[in-house]
Every structure is written in C-alpha cells, then in structure tokens.
Amino acid sequence: MLKKALENALTSKESDELISAFDQIGDIIIVRIPDSLLSKKKIIGQTLLNEVKVARSVFHQASDIEGDFRTRSLEILAGEKNTETEYKEFGCKFLVDVENAFFSPRLSTERERIANLIQDGEVITNMFAGVGMFSIMASKNKKCTVYSIDINPVASKLCEKNIELNKLVGKVISINGDASEIIKEKLVNKSDRTLMLLPERSDEFLESAINTTKNGGIIHYYSHIHADKKSEAGKLSEEHYLQVTPVQSEILGSKIVRAVGPRYYQTVVDIKISK
Ligand SMILES: C[S@@+](CC[C@H](N)C(=O)[O-])C[C@H]1O[C@@H](n2cnc3c(N)ncnc32)[C@H](O)[C@@H]1O
C-alpha cells in the first residue's frame, strides 16, 4: 500500500529502503529517511499524508533514540505539528507522545507475552515503565498491582492519564523518579515479577531489580547482545546474565525480542531468583 502511495515520488528501490523504517502510531506516521533521500523528504511527507487516510501528521525521525529518557527528535514533514496521539493495543487505549516520552509499537509481541504470563494476585515492579504500556496490559485482565516507575516526568504523567483511561486506578500506580531510589525507599521485597526494560543499562540496575523482587520471584532481564548466529543470541544473554548476577538463579527461558542492528539483538531472559 505504501509502495503504491509513493510510486510517483520514488523509484521502487527507494521506497523499499523507506518502508523498513516506517512506523504508524495512531494517526501519526514516523519515517526514518536515509541521507540519500533527504532532498525528497517534503514530497515523501506530503505523499504519505495524502495517501494514508488516517494520517494527521508525518514526521521524520531526526535523531536516534537517546539520553536518559530514551527519546528522539522529530521534524514535521506534513500535516499537524502535534506529537501526542492515541494508540490502541491488546484492547487497551494509550495516550502517547512520540517525541517527549519513549514509545515503540515494535514491542507489542513482547508486551502480549508478558501480559499472558501474569497470574492473579501478583505484585509487579515495572522499573522503566515509560507511558505504562506493559503495566496497563499486564493488569487489564488480571487482579494484580503494578508499580510503574519512570524517571521522565512526561512519561509518568501520560502513564497516570493512561491508568484513568483504562479504568485501572489503584491497580497501576505511576511513580516518577529514579527506579533504584524508589525501590530503596519503598519497594524492597515487594514484587513477584520485575520488568527491567532498559536494555542498555540492565547490569547497572540488576541489584535494584533483585532488591525489589521477593525470594522466588521472577525477573525479566532485557539486554542487547552481539551474536554472529541469530540462533545463539538467547543462549549468549543467559550466559551473560549468569556471569553478572549476584544471586542464585534459575533460568526459565530466553528469546530475541527484536533485531536492533546487524548481528545485534535485544533479548530477554526470564529468571526465577532465590535469595
Ligand atoms: C526503553 S524505555 C521502556 C519504556 C516502556 N517499558 C515501554 O515499553 O514503552 C526506557 C524507559 O526508562 C526510563 N528510565 C531511564 N532511566 C531511568 C531510571 N534511572 N529510573 C526509571 N526510569 C528510567 C526512560 O525515561 C524510558 O521511558
């Protein structure tokens, strides 16, 4: 459909390059335009806006995801310059701000996997919760309590709004601050399950994840790993975790969440800890 939309503006090879770098989030389209096509960015934006009926805005991702808040700079190409939109996933509604708080539609399969693992009665610490995607999906169909921590005030505010939007007040608690500080202050030995989706810095926060998790609880440990063979990425992450962990750990499983570069993967290891 996109290829068709762009056929008057780009060659077939050029539109192939663009399509792999394209996200639609609610009524916002974000494209990463390669340097070779930057001179055509306005026409790309206008064409997408005209052809994708639900689109209200088309942005070019002008920086990588960066900084403590894991956010990116966006440049408006066509339509309205508004980076907030509503996004639906797993029967839940989310207000997201695609420039000022982390959000990725590419984690939807992992969010669904985690939501399906939750048991009634669980307490969950989501250490790097963003706008509350995992927290809200986890608690939507289960009787659980989720502490949803993020250091970015914009993300925490949106998480509060998303809790109300999904009628989960009291089940999901949005807390703004540094996860290790918050855990030290009020969440030691509280969680049956701990999510640590800040893959670049997992080792730095592992001790805090262990602190908030009860004896016998589960940690979902995300990391980035180089692997020559894709089939080895999960095993390599397990080995890495076992090298760095200070506690007795039973590995329940591991998998690739998504590719993040050539021979470079985001992985998750599920671990039951004893302490
Ligand atoms: C990769 S994003 C994950 C967001 C969320 N889990 C999701 O799937 O949408 C990482 C998040 O961690 C937050 N963060 C970074 N450092 C933090 C810290 N020390 N304590 C709490 N949150 C932090 C960032 O603001 C960002 O929203």
Give, for ligand 1, the residue of 151, 175, 200, 204 to mutate: max count of ligand atoms closer than 8 Å to Cβ.
Answer: 151
| Nearest-atom index, ligand 1, CA of 103 | 9
Ligand 1 site residues (CB inside 6 A) read: 68-70, 102-103, 107, 128-130, 133-134, 149-152, 155, 178-179, 197-198
One domain for residues 148 and 162: yes
One domain for residues 76 and 44: yes
pLDDT tens-digit profile of 35-68? Answer: 888 998 998 899 889 988 899 999 999 999 999 9
One domain for residues 45 and 131: no
One domain for residues 225 and 252: yes
- Which whole-number Å values give the CA distances from 107 to 35, 47, 258, 267, in the listed order? 27, 27, 8, 12
123 neighbors 191 (Cβ within 8 angstroms): yes
pLDDT tier for residue 18 given thresholds of 50, 70 and 90: confident
Is the model's pLDDT at 9 over the cut of 90?
no
Is the model's pLDDT at 25 over the cut of 90?
yes
d(CA 161, CA 159): 5
What are the strands, taking DSSP E only, across the chain?
22-25, 28-31, 57-61, 74-79, 84-89, 92-97, 123-126, 145-150, 172-176, 191-196, 213-226, 248-261, 264-274
One domain for residues 140 and 60: no
Q: Looking at residue 145, what is its pLDDT?
A: 98
pLDDT tier for residue 114 given thresholds of 50, 70 and 90: very high
226 neighbors 240 (Cβ within 8 angstroms): no
This prediction has a pTM of: 0.94
> For the chain, what is the mean pLDDT?
94
For 34, the domain range is: 2-82
Max Cα–Cα distance, the chain, nearest Å: 62
Is the model's pLDDT at 164 over the cut of 90?
yes
